[in-house]
Chains A and B, each alone.
Chain A
Amino acid sequence: MDELLKVSSNPHVRSKVNTMGIMFAVVLALLPAAGFGIYNFGVRALFIILVTVVSTVLTEFLFGLYKKKQTIGDLSAVVTGLLLALNLPVSIPWWAAAMGGVFAILVVKCLFGGLGQNFMNPALAARCFLLISFPALMTNFATDAYTGATPLAALKAGEEVNILDMVIGKTAGTIGETSLIAIVIGACILLLLGIIDLRIPGSYIVTFVVFLILFGGHGINPAYIAAQLAGGGLMLGAFFMATDYVTRPITPKGQYLYGIVLGILTGIFRVFGSNAEGVSYAIILGNLLVPLIENITVPKAFGKGGGRYEK
């Protein structure tokens, strides 16, 4: 043997899954929703998606130049850009979309230490930033195809909504939130690949339904509940944003608790709030509670306190 041997501490093997692979899978899972958004709202939706993705990746690239460490290869900026676009109305001016991308990456992610250190979901924080800064632009859902309000707004105003349209996604709304089918296909991809599990989406949705039954004012009304579930950003939020690794609790019990918190917050915002929508705010508020949730849900170590058998 002429070459020196490599020495390291055990274990000496690693799984093939890496961060980039996970992010790539998330991008893949978002494509059905993005694709439907483009089909539903036209080429401008594609343009907005490109604007946000370019702005998030470019921001991370420039910050990487400044820090002398490039991280765009992990694709997390692409995920943020894509998620942000799916949460914007198609009519938004390109500069506002780009500004959202810069805010998400620079302020929410990079300034707090980069990937893994942000305490809020960057895409959602950027959406909320835009909602507060440019409320008119962010709630203008009128397009050539749809002149009316979003189904949730209509529902809140006491109007009838067409649930089949909502399931397919032929309604007004943000680019990626309208089609229940497209989102569920994406969610199935994530579930099958083991990227996410049902703890958070499951407890979130179940809690939300229970909240609606108790406080929604419609009792057990399947049409109302179905419309609430299919409408707005609930499904996109539950499967793609509440499950964001960085900003959700890491403890298994904490994940259930987090889902419950999100369900209650979403319920409060949708039922009692002035807006029809409430998922984004619920999730970023939930994000803030994560350290607390993790602290109170530290799992019991294997065999800890297990002195069940006398010595």
Chain B
Amino acid sequence: MATLTFTGGIHPYDGKDLTKDKPIRRVLPKGDLVYPLSQHIGAPAVPLVKKGDRVLTGQKIAEAGAFVSAPVHATVSGTVKAIELRRVVTGDNVMSIVVENDGLYEEVEYAPALDLAASTREEIIERIKEAGIVGMGGAGFPTFIKLSPKKPEKIDYVIVNCAECEPYLTSDYRRMIEEPEKLIKGLKVILSLFPKAQGIMAVEDNKKDCIELLKKMTADDNRISVKALKTKYPQGAERQLIFATTGRKINSSMLPADAGCVVNNVDTVVAIYYAVFEGKPLMERIVTVTGDAIKHPRNFKVRIGTNYHELIEQAGGFKVEPVKIISGGPMMGFGIFELDVPTTKTASALLCMSEDDVSAMEPTACIKCGRCVEVCPGRVLPNKLMVAAIHGDEETFLKLNGMECCECGCCSFICPAKRPLTQTIKSMRKMQLAKKKK
């Protein structure tokens, strides 16, 4: 079968060999846990506890602050030490609940498993909502909203994003290899919400063993198919993924549901499994701790709220002095300036590099080579958008479809003149989006 793909994209060094063959190891946090109230898109969560309260593992400590929001749960037992501003990966200070870990891991009594056949649609969605599940691929959009489109009967495809196109990341890969049954059961939960939909597990073809395994395990289910995607960044970008798997196209102002699709990331689907069948809220995620500065790179099952310092420690510390540390992958992640930040629901990786490509390269004149145009999955003209952005020329920026940029970073990666295309276009987009909101 021909592998599915989109037009454009790049092939950066993928660095997945550092971690892909090592089993996931569970990490139990030792120090304080920090739970930012904004780990998702939407309104911040509202604390339900106050300083001095004792909390249990799995206890809801903050509730959704609005419709578009998500609750936050304690992932250890202990005492609320403070509710204060704490630094997060983006460099912002975010109001956070700080819990002092008592090391007992006393748990709340989890809700019983739902019987899918006997539960209503609303019950299932309520369970997912109360579990605080958000898109764990990076965006952090509350999952229950994705699962409640206006017309559920119009959803034709439920896609699990198993592409993992971001270099260095192997967390989804390990999850698929080690816990495929949970992933498949999670997908079946979503499929039960959309009676007419087909389930698609879309995997990049650099994970042949995953494709084989998932195919074997879903062979008897005619609602689920496993599709091989061409290995290329950004194959897992939502719009490109939908196109590659279904041939449907959406633009920046449309939602996947407009094309009859619901897309969820691997960890998110597994979180749905835990919420529905084990009654557990979202408390853990897989984080790839990797990079050439790390002594023992591997994947960890991490409790949300765990300090990044502890992850580095678990991975054996630094082999060499890191120059750059990225929360997330090298294409879409955040460069962080200190490790004293918590693991959030959307933190997929901690990448520590001994060299920094970006500061080593001086931007030079654009020679109009057109590489940015060739690789742009959004089919826009990055070089012209950058010029418009620098000049603050909104009219040209909008006319050249600047808002269709998905900020994937391909243009900056490929540019032989090392110009910060994505970054400049991103700033202009942010300004335009802010303006629209006013």
User: Chain A interface (Cβ within 8 Å of chain B)?
Assistant: 1-15, 17-19, 21-22, 71, 74, 76, 114-117, 245-246, 248, 250-252, 298-311
Contact = CB atoms under 8 A, between A and B. Distances in A.
B367 A115 contact: yes
A10 B409 contact: yes
Given A115-B367, A116-B366, A250-B373, A5 B325 contact: yes
A245 B371 CA distance: 10
Nearest to A23: B367
B367 A301 contact: no
Nearest to B358: A8
A302 B251 contact: yes
B333 A310 contact: no
Contact of B12 (A9, A13, A19, A116): A13
B256 to A, nearest CB: 10
Contacts of B381: 250-251, 298-299
B383 interface: yes
A7 B416 contact: no
A298 B251 contact: no
B426 A9 contact: yes
B53 interface: no
Contact of A18 (B318, B359, B416, B426): B416
A239 to B, nearest CB: 16
A3 B12 CA distance: 27
Given A1-B339, A302-B240, A302-B379, 8 more contacts: A5-B335, A7-B91, A12-B330, A17-B371, A302-B251, A306-B248, A309-B259, A311-B150
A22 to B, nearest CB: 6
B412 to A, nearest CB: 5
A71 B367 CA distance: 13
B30 interface: no
Given A9-B335, A19-B417, A303 B239 contact: yes
Contacts of A19: 364-365, 367, 416-417
A35 B72 CA distance: 71
A114 B365 contact: yes
A280 B338 CA distance: 58
A301 B378 contact: yes
The A contact surface, by secondary structure, is loop
Nearest to B410: A11
A12 B357 contact: yes
Contact of B356 (A12, A17, A76, A117): A12
A110 to B, nearest CB: 12
Contact of A303 (B333, B336, B359, B404): B404
A252 B418 CA distance: 22
Given A1-B322, A9-B426, A14 B412 contact: yes
A10 B10 contact: no
Interface in B217-263: 239-240, 243, 248-252, 254, 258-260
Contacts of A310: 154
B118 interface: no
Nearest to A9: B423
A12 B331 CA distance: 6
A250 B377 contact: no
Interface in B382-438: 383-384, 400-401, 404, 407, 409, 412-418, 420, 422-423, 426
10 contacts: A8-B324, A8-B359, A9-B335, A10-B423, A12-B331, A13-B413, A17-B414, A116-B366, A302-B243, A303-B249
A10 B380 contact: no
Contacts of B316: none
Contacts of B338: 5
A79 to B, nearest CB: 11
Contacts of B416: 15, 17-19, 21-22
B158 to A, nearest CB: 15
B37 to A, nearest CB: 24
Nearest to A299: B379
Query: What are the 4 A-B residue pairs with the smallest beta carbon separation, nearest first?
Result: A11-B409, A303-B251, A301-B401, A301-B404
Nearest to B378: A302
A117 B91 CA distance: 38
Contacts of B150: 311
A19 B381 CA distance: 19
B334 interface: yes
Contacts of B331: 10-13
A175 B60 CA distance: 80
A76 B417 CA distance: 13
A22 B91 CA distance: 37
Nearest to A74: B364
B67 to A, nearest CB: 19
Contacts of A309: 248, 258-260
B249 A308 contact: yes
Nearest to A300: B379
B243 to A, nearest CB: 8
B85 interface: no
Contacts of B12: 13, 15
A5 B380 contact: no
B368 A13 contact: no
B361 interface: yes
B358 A6 contact: yes
B400 A298 contact: yes
Interface in B318-369: 318, 321-326, 328, 330-339, 353, 356-359, 361, 364-369
A283 B409 CA distance: 34
B379 A7 contact: no
A114 B366 CA distance: 10
B413 A11 contact: yes
A90 B220 CA distance: 76
B335 A6 contact: yes
Candidate in A4, A14, A251, A306 with the most chain B CB atoms within 10 angstroms: A14
B367 to A, nearest CB: 5
Nearest to B11: A15
B370 interface: yes
B137 interface: no
A230 B259 CA distance: 52
